[in-house]
Amino acid sequence: MTLGRAVARTVTSMRASPENPAVPLTSASLVEWLGGARTDAGVQVSERSALHMPAVWRAVTLISFVSASLPLRIYQDEITRKRVKNKLLRDPHPEMTRSELWRHSYGSRCLWGNSYTQKVRNRAGQVVELWPITPDRVQVGKVPSTTDLPSGKIFSVVDDWGVMHPMTSREILHIPGFGYDGVTGISPIRMAAQCIGLSVAAEKAGAKFFGQGAMLSGILQTEQRLDPDQAKQLKEQWRAKVSGVNNAYDVAVLDSDAKFQSLTMPYRDAQFLESRVFQIYEIARMFGVPPFLLMESSKSTSWGTGLEQQALGFVQFDLTPVWLTPTEERITKELLFGDEYGEYAVEGLLRGDSQARAEFYRVMREVGAYSANDIRHKENEPPVEGGDTYLQPLNMAPLGSTPKQGKASTKASVADEDEEDGDDPDDD
């Protein structure tokens, strides 16, 4: 199959929405157009509607804002780690800032499991701009790899006017999340639709409970039948007796056979509030974010030694391997040249644990395990001249050598040195 036929087949397999021709009926946009996937809780969940859940909103914005704010450093040669400048990555878009562009990329991966960015090239074929594309505008097709199409991916992209444009990896920077086929990532929102749907249903149920006036403070009961005017008068009299700060903790006296019955919240008995808290933990688990970063801290000390260790674990076990490293590798593969490579500087996120890091480096330096440049490498700093020397604890001399005594050495030491030189101290 030729490349032209593959592109034609991919494009003709897509159709526009009958309601809005500008909306393509791709797998993602069709679900969105229909309101999202329906869950057992009776609500529909899509990548956009999921953001109405505060926990999802917080997790997505946390990952995207933190990741996009990190400095992206470009190095040349993994041994010397020479820092180089890159105008494209420093200012990739004529209207958006660098962090705004990558924020869109990380947010797309959080919601759709894929990030698509168009590469704009000049006449010389160099990439000079990067433009974000919303994932529900893209359909990815797989064809046999060729010399002109080594990735084997064809992207059918719909513009604002409903026109479909076939593109290849030369025009599209695709960063997929976890997936089955090695072509596209899976939407985390669709995989967790039941969990999010339950949260949405619980929130709607709670809103209707309060909106329908079911939360009454109490009921006034009488043995006599009251007409509307009498009931209204009794209600106003009761409010006048018990309402206001001046009547707080006062004693109310009921007329005749009137009785007051206090009402409690039935949803408390049904563990309604507890179920909502549990859903926050489920969403935190889905995104790999510690619950306290989603503003749920009722069990903040149940893991590690405290909040600082939880934040450190988030950087080490979620933010770096799941979000930052795939972006670094894709940038290195498609936007850099030769032995250049990109690397995020995450030491700023570890500043809260700088004392522990400094103590660790000190010990490793003193026992000869790390050199000065080893430590600088781990801190994303370039090497320094003479920094590859390994030291040993005794007087911090070069590793493997025997330190010589200074002028303040004892007589015995001086005698030993003279004997080693072949001189007898008694000859004088």
pLDDT of residue 13: 38
Q: Where are the domains of the chain?
A: 216-264
Name the token pair of 194: 């039941």
More confident residue, 361 or 2: 361
C-alpha to C-alpha distance for 35 and 52, rounded to whole angstroms: 14
Q: What is the pTM of this model?
A: 0.71
More confident residue, 388 or 249: 388
Banded model confidence at residue 131, pLDDT cuts 50, 70, 90? very high
C-alpha to C-alpha distance for 32 and 423, rounded to whole angstroms: 93
With a CB cutoff of 8 Å and minimum separation 6, the contacts of 234 are 220, 222, 226, 258
Concatenated DSSP letters for 43-101?
A: -EE-TTGGGGSHHHHHHHHHHHHHHHHS-EEEEE-TTT-EEE--HHHHS--SSS-HHHH
Which residues pair with residue 340 across a beta bridge?
76
C-alpha to C-alpha distance for 28 and 47, rounded to whole angstroms: 9
pLDDT of residue 352: 54
Name the token pair of 263: 């009402």
Which residues pair with residue 306 across a beta bridge?
none
Beta carbons of 340 and 75 less than 8 angstroms apart: yes
More confident residue, 229 or 262: 229
* pLDDT tens sequence across 350-391: 765 677 778 888 888 888 889 999 888 877 788 999 999 888
Nearest one of 50, 41, 190 to 113, comparing CA atoms:
190
pLDDT of residue 245: 56
User: What number is the average pLDDT over the span 334-350?
Assistant: 89
With a CB cutoff of 8 Å and minimum separation 6, the contacts of 144 are 1, 152
pLDDT of residue 1: 40
C-alpha to C-alpha distance for 199 and 282, rounded to whole angstroms: 10
C-alpha to C-alpha distance for 299 and 310, rounded to whole angstroms: 12
Beta carbons of 284 and 290 less than 8 angstroms apart: yes
pLDDT of residue 121: 95
Output the average pLDDT for the chain.
Answer: 79
* pLDDT tens sequence across 182-226: 899 999 999 999 989 888 888 887 777 666 555 566 776 777 787
Over the range 46-73, which residues count as b (16 or more CB within 10 Å of their CB) and which as e?
bbebbbebebbebbbebbbebbbebebb
Beta carbons of 310 and 347 less than 8 angstroms apart: no
Concatenated DSSP letters for 7-23?
A: HHHHHHT--B-SS-TTS
* pLDDT tens sequence across 270-320: 566 777 888 899 999 999 999 999 988 776 655 545 777 888 889 999 999
C-alpha to C-alpha distance for 372 and 388, rounded to whole angstroms: 6
Which residues pair with residue 167 across a beta bridge?
155
Whose tokens are 């080490």? That residue is 316
- The dihedral region occupied by 111, where left means phi > 0, alpha psi between -120 and 50, and beta the remainder, is alpha
The lowest-confidence range among 30-44, 85-99, 326-340, 363-377 is 30-44
CA atoms within 13 A of residue 403's CA, in its CB half-sphere: 12
The lowest-confidence range among 51-65, 195-209, 237-251, 341-355 is 237-251
Residue 176 reports pLDDT greater than 90: yes
Banded model confidence at residue 415, pLDDT cuts 50, 70, 90? very low
Q: How many helices (H) and strands (E) does the chain have?
A: 15, 13
The lowest-confidence range among 51-65, 149-163, 254-268 is 254-268
C-alpha to C-alpha distance for 162 and 22, rounded to whole angstroms: 4
Whose tokens are 């006599």? That residue is 224
Which residues pair with residue 237 across a beta bridge?
none
Sheet containing 172-176: which strands, arranged edge to edge? 127-133, 114-121, 172-176
Beta carbons of 155 and 174 less than 8 angstroms apart: yes
Residue 26 reports pLDDT greater than 50: yes
